[in-house]
């Protein structure tokens, strides 16, 4: 449903992505793996329209969205959870969710649904986001993205720096969401096990190039670990 084709991109004079081609299957998960600095976040910024590529195209359900602004992509059903915790630290958990829900006809139900996916957030509704743990903040960030009822979710390292039990919770939620249908996910993830359990397709990015790609699934985990260790 999302096709990123032959994308070249970078910052000022530095080139980061070199002819990168990545496809997200409809209602499926594509995982992008790679070492620090490989260009994973840059790829998601291009997908979301935050960085204009110097070459190549981005297609959403066949429509060329390469030149569209981020808000136009949101209107087409894309949502983006950037790397790191991105909620408003001085607002409470509930206010952070309400902010996204305001003005949406189904806002109330969408908040309730997001809270059902992350019950811990219900207990923390009165706490300021800046006081939440890293894992809780990540769950809040994903919940905020889901309130927009996206068809395509871009997730940048949702488990980075988070303790194992919360990593497992986030993995469960992503798997549950993708099984429910109606949502495709482009997942950047350093946890190879999680990425491969979630993904139907994987791509390994090295120094801005896709050096290996294939079908996802736990059976491919060994090959991916090997490719990443060299």
Ligand X SMILES: Nc1ncnc2c1ncn2[C@@H]1O[C@H](COP(=O)(O)OP(=O)(O)OP(=O)(O)O)[C@@H](O)[C@H]1O
The only residue of 29, 30, 34, 41 in contact with Mg ion, by rule CB under 5 A: 41
16 binds ligand X (CB under 6 A): yes
The only residue of 36, 105, 165, 229 in contact with ligand X, by rule CB under 6 A: 36
Helix (H, G, I), strand (E, B) or coil at 216: coil
Binders in 54-93 for Mg ion, by CB under 5 A = 83
The only residue of 15, 19, 26, 37 in contact with ligand X, by rule CB under 6 A: 37
Order of strands, sheet of 152-156, starting from the edge strand that comes earlier in the sequence: 78-81, 152-156, 184-188, 29-33, 201-206, 209-215
What distance in Å separates the CA atoms of residue 37 and residue 34, rounded to the nearest whole number?
Answer: 8
CB of 228 to ligand X, least distance (A): 12
Of 10-18, 69-77, 127-135, 168-176, which segment contacts ligand X by CB under 6 A? 10-18
Contacts of 104 (CB under 8 A, 6+ apart): 110, 147, 148
By a kind-dependent CB cut-off of 5 to 8 A, residue 161 interacts, out of ligand X, Mg ion, none, with: none
CB of 127 to ligand X, least distance (A): 28
CB of 128 to Mg ion, least distance (A): 26
55 binds ligand X (CB under 6 A): no
Helix (H, G, I), strand (E, B) or coil at 158: coil
By a kind-dependent CB cut-off of 5 to 8 A, residue 222 interacts, out of ligand X, Mg ion, none, with: none
Binders in 73-92 for ligand X, by CB under 6 A = 83
CA 38 vs CA 41, 75, 203, 205, 216: distances in Å: 9, 29, 12, 6, 20
What distance in Å separates the CA atoms of residue 53 and residue 120, rounded to the nearest whole number?
Answer: 39
The only residue of 20, 30, 31, 40 in contact with ligand X, by rule CB under 6 A: 40
159 binds Mg ion (CB under 5 A): no
Judge whether 70 and 228 are in contact, CB under 8 Å.
no
Helix (H, G, I), strand (E, B) or coil at 91: coil
The DSSP secondary-structure symbol of 133 reads: -
| Interface residue list for ligand X (CB under 6 A) | 11, 14, 16, 34, 36-42, 83
């Amino acid at each position: 449903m999302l096709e990123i084709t032959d994308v070249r991109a970078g910052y000022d004079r530095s080139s980061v992505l070199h002819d990168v081609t990545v496809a997200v299957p409809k209602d499926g998960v594509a995982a992008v793996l790679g070492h620090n600095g490989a260009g994973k976040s840059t790829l998601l910024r291009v997908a979301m329209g935050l960085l204009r590529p110097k070459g190549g195209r981005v297609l959403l359900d066949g429509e060329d969205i390469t030149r569209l602004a981020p808000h136009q992509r949101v209107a087409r059903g894309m949502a983006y959870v950037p790397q790191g915790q991105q909620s408003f630290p001085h607002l409470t958990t509930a206010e952070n969710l309400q902010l996204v829900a305001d003005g949406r006809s189904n806002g109330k139900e969408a908040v309730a649904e997001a809270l059902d996916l992350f019950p811990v957030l219900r207990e923390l509704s009165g706490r300021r986001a800046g006081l939440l743990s890293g894992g809780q903040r990540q769950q809040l960030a994903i919940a905020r993205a889901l309130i927009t009822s996206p068809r395509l979710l871009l997730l940048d390292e949702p488990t980075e720096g988070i303790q194992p039990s919360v990593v497992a919770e986030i993995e469960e939620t992503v798997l549950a969401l993708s099984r429910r249908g109606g949502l495709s996910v482009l997942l950047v993830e350093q946890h190879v096990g999680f990425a491969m359990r979630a993904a139907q397709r994987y791509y390994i990015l090295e120094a801005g190039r896709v050096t290996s790609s294939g079908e996802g699934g736990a059976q491919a985990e060994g090959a991916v670990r090997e490719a990443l260790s060299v």
